[in-house]
Structure formats: structure tokens, C-alpha cells
A and B are shown apart, each in its own frame.
Chain A
Amino acid sequence: MSTPRDINVRQKPAVAATGGATSTVLATKQLTKNFGGLTAVDSVDFSVKEGEVRCLIGPNGAGKSTLLELITGQLSPSEGEIYFDGTDLTEMDTHDRIDTGISVKFQSPHVYENLSVEENLQVPLQRTDRDAGKVSEETLDRIALSDEREEPASDLSHGEKQRLEIGMAVTLDPTLMLLDEPVAGMSVDETADVAALIRSLHDDGMTFLVVEHDMDFVRQISDRVTVLNQGEIFREGPIAEIEADEDVRRIYLGENA
């Protein structure tokens, strides 16, 4: 089977990364989710390539978070399939999907408030066979929380909690990292910190799928952008192209062309 060249979700994606940046790690096939009469995600064929930072944007109610929850397994699809690294995830429980190499960070901070920063990292780390002491140290350094390691997570600021949570997800050493609005409610400086963190992880070869509203942030991190509208893929392409697209500006950026 040849490696899919472009967005090609009609076929099962190639297993693992053989050729580097061109292999598909995540693919959805005709993915649909109905809530009663509402179709939140409508026959979405979508794929993410290894090593890219993909941003998912779209107006409120476009189905971005639903799509993410379908990928993590918190929701099960009404129709369609999800493949990750050649594995069919569609029927898998959330915790089993994580074991295939996906990590996720929710929209609102979900750290363990009563545990120390270091213990927060220990919870995901103890499930891996990585050197806990070393990885914990590296991660603390990376998320700039080394000095706060002994502090309970409840004492951290909003931005620090978001960084800690990204750090926790990263300790699992995932192939694909899913982030739902990682900079919501953050200051400009905090946003820049998170962007730098994502770029450095990206340089190490991690693939990202990021749901985000903040276009400045999207510009700082993304390779390609997918625009979702009314549960369907509306546009997909490089950030410059998307921002220049008049239809996108009309539906999402709220401009009258």
C-alpha cells in the first residue's frame, strides 16, 4: 500500500511513520455525530499528518470540541470511523486510545488541585516505563515550573495550571497531542509562553491538533488550518491562505466581504 500523498481518507492510513512528514497519523472517515435532531459533526473526512501542528478553527457551535471528543472517545460517533496510526479507534474506550499514543488537554484546567506540581506529573508518568525522575525534571524545566514543584497545584495561576496540564499530557510521550483552547483566558505573555512550548515540542517531532479561537496564537503555531462550519469542513490550507479567504472571513472572522 502506498503512503497517502495528500489528504486521503478514503483509504486506511499507512501504519506508523515510515517516510516522515508525509504519513498520516490521524484520519476520520465520514465521521458523524447527531445530538437528537442536531448534527454537530457531519460526515467529516479529516486527517492530520505526522509532525504537523494543525489548528482547528470555526465559529461557536461549528463542532470543533465535539470532533475532539469523538477522537478521544468521550463521545461515540453516530456514524463513521476514526483511525490512528493505522489502528481503528472507533470502538475503543478512552483509556485504551490514550495507550495508542494520543494525549489530550481539556479546555478548562483539570489539574489535581490537592496534589503538588510534582505529584501531578507523577500520575501520568507512573503509567509509562520512562525514567520518572529524569522526565519529571525535564518537563518541569520545559513548562517553567521547577520552582513550584512542591506547591499544591491549587496555588498556581490560571496560566501556570494550563502549562502544568500540557506538561502532564506530554509526559506520556504521545505521538499526537490534542489541545482544546490551550490559551483561553490567558494574557498575551502567557499565550506566547504556551506557543513557545508547543513549538519546542513540535521541534522534537510531536504532532499537534489544536482547537483555538485566538488567531494571533494560531498564527504563532500552525502549519495548516482546518475551518469547521456547521459540522462540516469548510476550508483547509496554510494559515495565510485561510486568512485571505473571503468566505472564511465572512463566516468566522465576522467580516462582511
Chain B
Amino acid sequence: MSGPLGDGSDHKRSDLDARSRSVIGCVRDRLEGPNTIGDSPAFWVGFAVAVAALAVYPFTTDPYTIIQSSRYLALSFLALSLCFIWGYAGVLSFGQVAFFGIAAYAFGIIGINLSSTVGVGVAVVGAVLAGTLSAALLGYFMFYGGVRETYVTIMTLVVTLVLNTFMAQTAGSEWAVGAAQLGGFNGMTDIPSLTVGVGETALVVEGVGLYYALLVALVAAYLGLRVLVNGQFGMTMVAVREDEARTTTFGYDVPFVKLVVFTIGGALAAVGGVFYASWGNYIDPSVFGIAFAALPVVWVSVGGRESLLGAIGATLAIERMRTGLSSGIGPIGSEWALVIVGGLLLCVILFLPAGVAPRLDDLTGELREKRAERSQSTATTEEPAE
């Protein structure tokens, strides 16, 4: 299971080199394991290149595109959250957008009422807590109430749609929390942007700054989740996904495990919601709508349920495509965007049931094997010549 760096058979390396290698080996041991694909040095090189490419992206394009890209990165948290609970613990939630939306509204309400740079910090913490605790509360009633499998999916969707209906009717001026007008169907406006620092010197995080903040946060969340799913807790999640009854008879408290997983998923979605609300300075009830609720399921299905990186990649690609379609390409108008996304989902379910990323991993694995075979056969033929 440990990476090829762990064998340390090469005695020619200097001590320093060996030590730095062993540090890398140690880090890789924690990041790699049976529960993630992409455990090769080639993968990490590719990963570093991709992150670097995203980091230099703002220098190659216009500010508008960067603002659009920030939106995709914020939505990627939603994809990570669903991938984590569905792919690893087998809990298919149709309502991750609920915790995303609750955090977004909470950020707006707290941020508008405490209109100061300190207030934004409080709003971030408060909003993430609101999303996380909502997930914990719903999770508690579901998992300790014996709600399982498809019923979890239905229940989470119903909760989301109830929030949609509720928020859509908050149009009147009586629907305000302090200075924050909920705004009904038109949504809540004037939500503050994120800021760093306090008082006069505070820096507003927007535009390219927000893009980098999102990129750093997303990479951190991804690596953190990799450590989590490849550790003991990851094994526990997979055991619960594979066979709940058996896992119980090894002494695991299955409802509790699911509650923890669901709460972590809620926290991830909430972080995305905070970024999303501060990105657009705006949130409206369509965040709880069925069209938006379906998107995370599409991203994660297409990217691969058991691939955190696949889920992020699919989110970026599909959302980029949707933006392109909604501005209309040739005769294809914006109204076709969701139809095409739906068609993509059908194709993936039919032809790549595990998703794109696991299939890519299979293909590169086969390629590696073939290359290894070939190099082996050339090595044996060349040997006599030496």
C-alpha cells in the first residue's frame, strides 16, 4: 500500500536527499491509500502542474473570466461535499445545496447587520456554523431515526424544496432580520465581500484576490479530505458504505459514523456557500431549487463518486460549459444548457457508471502496465548487447 518512495533501496542518495525523500514519503503515506486513485509520482506531478496552471490563469485572461472561474471554484466545495458523503459513506444527499444556501443566507444576514470588517469575520464563522449545525440536526434525525438509502435522498431533497418555497415567500418588508431584507424571490442583496484585516487597513477580497483565496482553500480541502479518507476514518466510512449490518457487528456505531460524515459534508457545503454569497454579494432562493440541487449529483456522477479530484474537475468543466452555452453558441441557445447537462449525465450513467476519473485511472493503469511490459522485454533483448 505504501508508495514506491518508501522502499529506500537506493544507497547512492545522500543523507539529506534521503531525509527529504522520507519526509515526502511520510506525507504521501498519509495522502495515499486504497481509498483514492492517483497514488503515483506521475499523478502528483500532474496535480502540481494543474494547480500551477490554475495559479497563472489570471495572468492569461480577462478579469471577467476570472470572476466566472471563482464561481466554479466556490461550487467545487459543493461537489467535494457530496463526493465525500456519497462516494465514501454511500449516503446520497440531494440536499447539499441546502447547507450551501443556509450558510449563504446566514453570511448575508450576519454580514449586513454587523457592517464592519470584524463583522465579516464573525459572519464567516457564524455562517459556516449555521450550515454545519443544520446538517448535524438533519443528520441526527435521519440516521438515528433509521432513515436509510433512497429515503435519505428523498428527505434531503424535500428539506431543500421546503426551504425554496419558504424563502421565495419572504418578499414583504416584514421579512427582515435586523437590517437584512430576505427579499423573497428576488433574493438578498448587498451581502458584503470577504475582507482580510481590521479597520482602515482591511483588504477586500474580490476579483483576482478572491480567485486565489478560493484556489488555496479548495486545494487545502482536497488534500485534507484525502488524508481523512485514507486514514482509519476513511476505512470506517467505506465499511459502512459496503455493509452496514456487518460493520455494526464489529462494534461500530453506524448512525454516529454517518452523522459525523454528513456533518463534515455540511461544513464543506457551507464553506462553498459563504464564498458564493460573498462572490456575488447576493443570494436568492433558486439556490434551494431543484435545478441547482441536481447539479452536484451530476458533477459527482460525471467526475466519479469515489474520486474527489474527479468531482472538482467535472464541476469546473460542466460549469464552464454551462456558462458558454447560456451565452449561446451559434444556433444553440441558453435554454439547451440543462438539456445538454442532463444528456451528459445519461451518457455517463450508461457508458461510464463509475465516472470519468476512475475510467481515466484504469486507462493510465493499463498504459503503465503495457509500458512496463515493453520496457521489460526490451531490457531482456538489449542485455546481451551490453
Within 8 A of B (CB), among A96-139: 96, 98-99, 103-104, 106, 110-116, 119, 122-124, 126-127
- Whether B249 lies near A122 (C-beta < 8 A) is no
Any A CB within 8 A of the CB of B359:
no
A168 to B247, CA, bound (A): 11
Collect the chain B residues with CB atoms within 8 Å of residue A169's CB.
249
Any B CB within 8 A of the CB of A72:
yes
- Whether B235 lies near A95 (C-beta < 8 A) is no
A119 to B250, CA, bound (A): 14
Any A CB within 8 A of the CB of B20:
no
- Whether A123 lies near B239 (C-beta < 8 A) is yes
Given the contacts A110-B245, A110-B246, A113-B242, A126 and B235 also touching, CB distance less than 8 Å = yes
Within 8 Å by CB of A172, from B239, B245, B251, lies B251
- Whether B246 lies near A95 (C-beta < 8 A) is no
- Whether A112 lies near B239 (C-beta < 8 A) is yes
Q: Chain B 189-228 against A: per-residue CB contact (8 Å), 1 yes, 0 no?
A: 0000000000000000000000000000000000000000
A103 to B246, CA, bound (A): 11
Given the contacts A110-B243, A113-B242, A119-B34, A127 and B251 also touching, CB distance less than 8 Å = yes
Collect the chain B residues with CB atoms within 8 Å of residue A122's CB.
235
Collect the chain A residues with CB atoms within 8 Å of residue B253's CB.
93, 95
Within 8 A of B (CB), among A138-165: none
| B interface bracket (residues with beta carbon within 8 Å of A) | 10 to 19
Any B CB within 8 A of the CB of A43:
no
- Whether A123 lies near B34 (C-beta < 8 A) is no
Any A CB within 8 A of the CB of B248:
yes
Within 8 Å by CB of B242, from A98, A115, A127, lies A115
Any A CB within 8 A of the CB of B143:
no
A99 to B252, CA, bound (A): 9
Collect the chain A residues with CB atoms within 8 Å of residue B249's CB.
72, 94-95, 98, 103-104, 106, 169
Collect the chain A residues with CB atoms within 8 Å of residue B173's CB.
none
- Interface core residue of B238, B248, B251 (most chain A CB under 10 Å): B251
Within 8 Å by CB of A123, from B235, B245, B254, lies B235
Any A CB within 8 A of the CB of B381:
no
A126 to B42, CA, bound (A): 31
Collect the chain A residues with CB atoms within 8 Å of residue B250's CB.
98, 123-124, 127, 168, 172
Any A CB within 8 A of the CB of B377:
no
Collect the chain A residues with CB atoms within 8 Å of residue B251's CB.
95-96, 98-99, 124, 127, 172
Q: Chain B 30-67 against A: per-residue CB contact (8 Å), 1 yes, 0 no?
A: 00001000000000000000000000000000000000
Which residue on A lies nearest to B233, using beta carbons?
Answer: A126
Collect the chain B residues with CB atoms within 8 Å of residue A114's CB.
242
Which residue on A lies nearest to B231, using beta carbons?
Answer: A126
Collect the chain A residues with CB atoms within 8 Å of residue B245's CB.
74, 106, 110
Which residue on B lies nearest to A72, using beta carbons?
Answer: B249
A253 to B253, CA, bound (A): 41
Collect the chain B residues with CB atoms within 8 Å of residue A94's CB.
248-249
CB distance from A131 to the nearest CB of B (A): 15
A172 to B242, CA, bound (A): 20
CB distance from A249 to the nearest CB of B (A): 35
Within 8 A of A (CB), among B82-129: none
- Whether B232 lies near A95 (C-beta < 8 A) is no
Q: Chain A 158-188 against B: per-residue CB contact (8 Å), 1 yes, 0 no?
A: 0000000000110010000000000000000
- Interface core residue of A72, A104, A106, A115 (most chain B CB under 10 Å): A115
CB distance from B237 to the nearest CB of A (A): 11
- Whether B247 lies near A123 (C-beta < 8 A) is yes
Within 8 A of B (CB), among A163-219: 168-169, 172
A98 to B252, CA, bound (A): 9
- Interface core residue of B34, B246, B249 (most chain A CB under 10 Å): B249
Which residue on A lies nearest to B245, using beta carbons?
Answer: A110
CB distance from A55 to the nearest CB of B (A): 21
Which residue on B lies nearest to A114, using beta carbons?
Answer: B242
A84 to B239, CA, bound (A): 27
Collect the chain A residues with CB atoms within 8 Å of residue B248's CB.
94-95, 98
A74 to B246, CA, bound (A): 11
CB distance from B62 to the nearest CB of A (A): 46
CB distance from B88 to the nearest CB of A (A): 12
Which residue on B lies nearest to A126, using beta carbons?
Answer: B232
CB distance from B29 to the nearest CB of A (A): 15
CB distance from B39 to the nearest CB of A (A): 15
A66 to B111, CA, bound (A): 58
A72 to B250, CA, bound (A): 11
Collect the chain B residues with CB atoms within 8 Å of residue A168's CB.
250
Collect the chain A residues with CB atoms within 8 Å of residue B247's CB.
123
CB distance from B231 to the nearest CB of A (A): 10
CB distance from B111 to the nearest CB of A (A): 43
Given the contacts A104-B249, A119-B235, A123-B247, A112 and B242 also touching, CB distance less than 8 Å = yes
Given the contacts A110-B243, A123-B239, A116 and B34 also touching, CB distance less than 8 Å = yes
CB distance from B365 to the nearest CB of A (A): 15
Which residue on B lies nearest to A93, using beta carbons?
Answer: B253
- Whether A95 lies near B254 (C-beta < 8 A) is yes
Collect the chain B residues with CB atoms within 8 Å of residue A103's CB.
249
Shortest Cβ-Cβ A-B pairs, 10 listed: A98-B251, A124-B250, A110-B246, A112-B242, A123-B239, A95-B253, A95-B251, A126-B232, A104-B249, A99-B251
Can you give 16 contacting A-B residue pairs, CB < 8 Å? Answer: A74-B245, A98-B248, A98-B249, A98-B250, A106-B245, A112-B238, A112-B242, A112-B243, A115-B34, A116-B34, A123-B250, A124-B250, A126-B235, A127-B250, A168-B250, A172-B250
Chain A interface (Cβ < 8 Å from any Cβ of B) = 72, 74, 93-96, 98-99, 103-104, 106, 110-116, 119, 122-124, 126-127, 168-169, 172
4 additional A-B residue pairs with CB within 8 Å, beyond A94-B248, A119-B235, A123-B250: A98-B251, A115-B242, A123-B247, A126-B235
